[in-house]
Chains A and B, each alone.
Chain A
Amino acid sequence: MAFGQQRDHLLNDVSTVLWRERHLLELLVFKLEEERLLLTAGKVRWVNHASREVEIVLEQLRAAELFRAVKVEAAALEFGLETCPGLRSLSQAAPEPWSSIFSRHRQACLELTGEVRDLSERNRQMLAKGRDAAREALNWLTGKGAPPPQGYTASGAPTQGPGGYDEETIELGAVPATQTIGSYTNDKVPGCGVAVEGADYVTDRFRQSQSYTEQGNLGVLSAQQSGLQAVQLHFREPSSNGISGQLTQYWQDWSALANNPSDSSAQATVVQDGSNLASSLNDTSSALSTLSQQTAQNITLMLVQVNQEASQVASLNQSISRGNAPTSSVEELEDQRDQLVSELSRQLGVIVVNNPDGTVNVSLGSEAIVSGDISQALSLTTSRAAPYSLEWSKDKSTHQPSGGELAGMLDVVNEYIPSYQRNLDQVAQSLMGSVNYLMSQGYDQAGNQGAPFFLGTGASDIEVNPVLLANPADIGANASPLPAGSSATNEDGTVAAEVGELPNSQTVTMSVPAGGWPQGGSASAWTGATTTTGVEPDVAHNQLVAGIGQAAASVNNQLTDQQAITTNVSSALQSATGLNADQELTNMVMYQNAYEASAKFISTVGATLQSLISLVNG
């Protein structure tokens, strides 16, 4: 009996050490997870602290290792095993209950080390990339390397460094539920078969619908962001070659003309730079239109995908409700279906309702995309202009989604781009109105009233009056004509100076004919124009750029937050549907306590018996 008692003591010690190690591994997983979150969030500042904490846990783990080696060695000696036996051979050699305790320890440790390996590998990759990027930029700064790539490409998507960050995409939940849930509960040990599935199912569904919602929110913002980023890039601000720089140059040209009103090169410069400015406005306007068309096209393409997914969900629903799965289990079909629904929520921000028979209904607004085994198609409203909306195939009613990438893209085509187009038109109209107003008060070198400088109705069609392009001397730069019959040149330039001074005020006087300045018009265009006050062109343009910047910055911030939320919700879902480590740990602690108690009981019994026997023997 003394023999058995000693063995129990030894094995108990080993088990305690293993518990300690498991605890430390658990802590390590936590610390690594923490480090990963910091890296994902780009909080470089805390990476140092995080890695120091990992260091500390590792230190403790090393100490525990040593301790474990000592204890296991003692046990090995006791059971006649070779030195430094593995946990497997120890568990095989040890009697029950220790054998099953050790095999569970081993399994838990293996899982934990697997997690640690995964996490640290992922962290390592991220860290290596971070370090390389920093090093590359530093080398360039110190003149030892090529300039680092700029953050954005023309498409508005963040460029990727060498190798990109693509491989960082992990597939949460790649392990089917059947293999993870119940990896312990399948065990034959009595009392281990805790019915976790019932409770877990509810949690899953709640978290899953939460995840769908957040996917939808993320979709809106990411679509808005890429749209706004693209808009922003078309404005090339702040830089000297954007519209603001061209405006400044144009006003300067007028002042130069004021200094030398009869100089043909000064006249030509005003006309030329005016032309450049007009075509920049044309280009920006048409770039916005193109962006709008492209986005509409992308919506159509995404809808094709959405419709396909919806019909797939419907057919999966059918298979699930019938419980027939030709080649795979119903759970696998559900996984497939959930993936599709998740995709749908990212694209459309759908509402998902779980039916008792395991099928789901997916709806959008008041209509169902998928109801049981029936799906409904969506299309973009056919009118080729904003505002666009989605049209149901059944009753042809329209719907404006409020979540998902499609909602974000619709925002871009229906809200953002049209409003920026309007603002850009205001810039062009203010430019036309204010310059033309002053031209109406000026006289050209021949003594005639000035012709309108700009013609057109907005940013898309503004142009310099062809009359002036052909003969720049016809610019009405002077406040009064020369006396009749004079052969002198007019050196007054007061009106040109006034045009040059326009950017000094916040508001300008504008001349506005009904229906814009007629193309190919002449001085006769003055009749019928009304005089009004408007925002100065630079100010209007500045407001436009700042507005775009503010909208983009706000969406960027929201997107960062939403990414964190979505990641959290996904992790929560993952921990619910994936390996439920907490649940298992609780169970294990419970069993451990039970075993510890029985071991105590057994050893107490043994001790009592021994004293009894010695008593008897004695």
Chain B
Amino acid sequence: MLIVSEMEPDLGITLLKEQAASGKAFNHPSDNPTGTSEVLSMNAQIGRFQQYATNAGDGLSRLQTASGALNSVTEALRQVQTDVLSGANAAASDASDRHALSADVLSIKQTILGYAGTIHNKKPVFSGTYGTTPYPQGSTSGISDPESASYDPAAAYAYAGSTIPLSRVVAPGRSVHASVTGDQVFGSGTSSVFALLDRISQDLANRNTSALNGSDLTQLHAALSTVTQAAENAGSLSAAITQDQTNANDTMSSLQDQVGNITDANEDQVATKLDLAEASYQAALETAAKTIQPSLAQFLS
């Protein structure tokens, strides 16, 4: 004869209980192998898209900082334009006026140099992939004072940043530029906007009307349009990145919904099933309690 352990009855509610406790439709890979695999890969994707949204946000704020700086530079260059025009006019023949204009242009140059060194999150925005001030001013650089005998615009305004703009990955396999480089906006060395402003300042001081009316104005105009273009460029990059950020967020939340659909236990359904199980057990219990008729037991005794 055998001694056989009866199988432990599942009673149909082990899984229900687990679902109720964890709020998850499955808690072990064996509960739903396919679902587990889907959830794992979707969770990985959610992580990626979360990161794309973050990357896009980082790129966006960099570009916005750059745009702000570029707009200020445009304003400053417009002021120089006004100065040049008034310096070239006969009304400004007075020497003190001319010197005032010349000094104003030099101070605007300093302002623009400041804008060129704009910092975002501790990093200069116009230096591309190099973490350095794009136009470093100091004892080791060339002399940037046009009055000085050893004035050296080539060294003083040499672009120290990288010509490669920063990129941010905003979608699977797609990275976009998240900066404009200083050389594209301000130029470098003698052909830089700073050297131009130095020349204008000199021409104003010396009342070199032909230069002021001629090459100075033309070059200033060109510089202005370069900066405006760079600002527009930054603006359109911002718009594109905003779109990318929205897309990444949308994808992320739709993935999260899908994961939720797969993993979350339907609490109402679980509760209903449990309720049903409880009622069945209760009803059957009542029947089980009265299977033996007392009269029969007495009769057989």
Contacts and interface: CB of A to CB of B under 8 A. Distances in A.
Interface in A179-223: 208, 211
A58 B287 contact: yes
B90 interface: no
Nearest to B7: A563
Nearest to A135: B278
Instruction: Name, among B6, B22, B263, B291, the residue most crowded by chain A CB atoms within 10 Å (CB to CB).
Output: B291
Contacts of B29: 232, 235, 237-238, 545-546, 548-550, 552-553
Contact of A567 (B3, B6, B168, B279): B6
A504 B33 contact: no
Interface residues of A, number: 135
A259 B179 CA distance: 12
A488 B21 CA distance: 55
Contacts of A255: 51, 54-55, 169
Given A134-B278, A478-B129, A504-B48, A237 B36 contact: yes
B11 A173 contact: no
A44 B300 contact: no
Interface string A235-265: 1011010001101110110011011101000
B169 A48 contact: no
A581 interface: no
Nearest to A543: B37
B123 to A, nearest CB: 6
A131 B7 contact: no
Given A127-B288, A255-B169, A109 B300 contact: yes
Contacts of A260: 121, 123
Contact of B169 (A72, A119, A124, A500): A500
A42 B167 contact: no
Nearest to A571: B4
B2 A113 contact: no
Contact of A133 (B13, B44, B168): B13
A247 B4 CA distance: 47
Contacts of B15: 151
A47 interface: yes
A338 interface: yes
4 closest cross-chain pairs (CB), A and B: A549-B29, A489-B131, A488-B132, A173-B1
Interface of A: 21, 28, 32, 35, 39-45, 47-48, 50-51, 54-55, 58, 61-62, 65, 68-69, 72, 84, 86-88, 106, 109-110, 113, 116-117, 119-120, 123-124, 126-131, 133-138, 140-142, 147-152, 158, 165, 168-174, 176-177, 208, 211, 228-229, 232-233, 235, 237-238, 240, 244-245, 247-249, 251-252, 255-256, 258-260, 262, 335, 338-339, 342, 478, 482, 486-494, 497, 500-501, 503-504, 538-539, 541-543, 545-546, 548-553, 556, 563, 566-567, 570, 573-574, 577-578
Interface of B: 1-18, 20-22, 26-34, 36-37, 39-41, 43-44, 46-48, 50-51, 54-55, 58, 121, 123, 127-132, 160-162, 164, 166-169, 172-173, 175, 263, 267, 270-271, 274-285, 287-293, 295-301
